[in-house]
Amino acid sequence: MTSGSSTSAFKQQLAAFFNQRSHYDEESDFHPRLAARLLDYAQLQPGHKVLDIATGTGLVAIAAAQQVAPDGWVVGVDLAEGMLRQAKAKIERLQLFNISLYLQDVETLNLPEDCFDCVLCSSALIYLSDLPGNLKRWYDTLKPNGLVGFHGFAASAFVTSQVMQQVARQYGIELGFNQATDTAAACRSLLQTAGFVDVMIAAEQWGSYISLAQAEQGWQPDSLNPLFQPLRQLSAQQLAQAQRQFQAELRDRLTDQGIWNDISTFFVFGRKPPG
C-alpha cells in the first residue's frame, strides 16, 4: 500500500495536534472504552485480516491482533508519528507479531481491492474530509461479505462542542462537529450509499453530568486541534465576547446535578454483499 504525495494544511495541523498528545491513553478511559465496545460488536474471528483506520496508539489494532491470532493479521494506519510510537511500544511489550503499522494519511492511501475481512475506525470520523468517499474505498478493499464498523456521535453530543458551535455560528463560523453522523438515519444512509447491506446501528448513551468548571474548560480557541482553529479568525475582542457567550450558555444549562453532557453514540456496521 502506498500513500498520495500531498498532505493538506489541515492534515499537517492534525498530525501536530496528535503528535503532542504523548499520554493519549492516560487522558481518560473514554477512547479505550469506545475501542473495546467497537470490537465487541465486530466479533472478529481467528484468521481475519483487519484494517484499522486512524489507528492512533493501537487501541483497536492491538486488541484485534490478539483476537485474530494466530493466523490473522492487522494493518494500522495513522498520520501522527507520535501516536504510532506509542502503539509500537505497546506492541513490543506484548510481543505481538501480527500487526503492521503505516505512517500515512488514510485518505490518500491506495488500498488493495478485496483484501480485508474487516475495516474498523474508532474516534476518527470527525477528522475525515470526505467520509462518503472513504466509505466507498473501504467497501472496495473489503472481501465479499466483509464487515465495516465505526462509531459516530449525534448532533447533541458533547455539550462544550455544541455550545462552542452555537456561539461560533453567531460570528459566521462553522466548526462542523458530528454533522456526518448526527442521526442514526444519517449513519445508515452513509453505509447504504457506499453499497453496504445488512446495516446494523446500536445507539448507546455514554453521557454524564459534569461540573460547570469542567464544561468551561472546553473553550479552546488556542488548541492545536484544527477543528477549533477557525475561531482564530476572530479578533481578540470578539474572542473575549464569544467566550462570555459560551460561559453564559453553559450557566443556563446548569442544574443541581451539574450540566448534562450528552454523548449519544452510534456503533455502525455494514457488510459488503457476498458477491
pLDDT for res 221: 84
pLDDT in tens, 138-170: 999 999 999 999 999 998 999 999 999 999 999
| Of residues 195, 271, 1, 272, the one with CA closest to residue 112 | 1
Q: What residues contact 103, with CB distance under 8 A and at least 6 apart?
A: 78, 79, 81, 84
Q: How far apart are CA 148 and CA 271, in angstroms?
A: 6
- Inter-residue contact 119 to 146 (CB < 8 Å): yes
| Of residues 37, 73, 33, the one with CA closest to residue 52 | 73
Q: What CATH architecture does domain 2-271 belong to? A: 3-Layer(aba) Sandwich (3.40)
- Inter-residue contact 201 to 266 (CB < 8 Å): yes
Give the three cell numbers for residue 154: 449525534
Q: What beta strand segments (E) does 48-157 contain?
A: 49-53, 73-78, 99-103, 109-110, 116-121, 142-153
In the chain, which stretches have pLDDT less than 50?
1-6
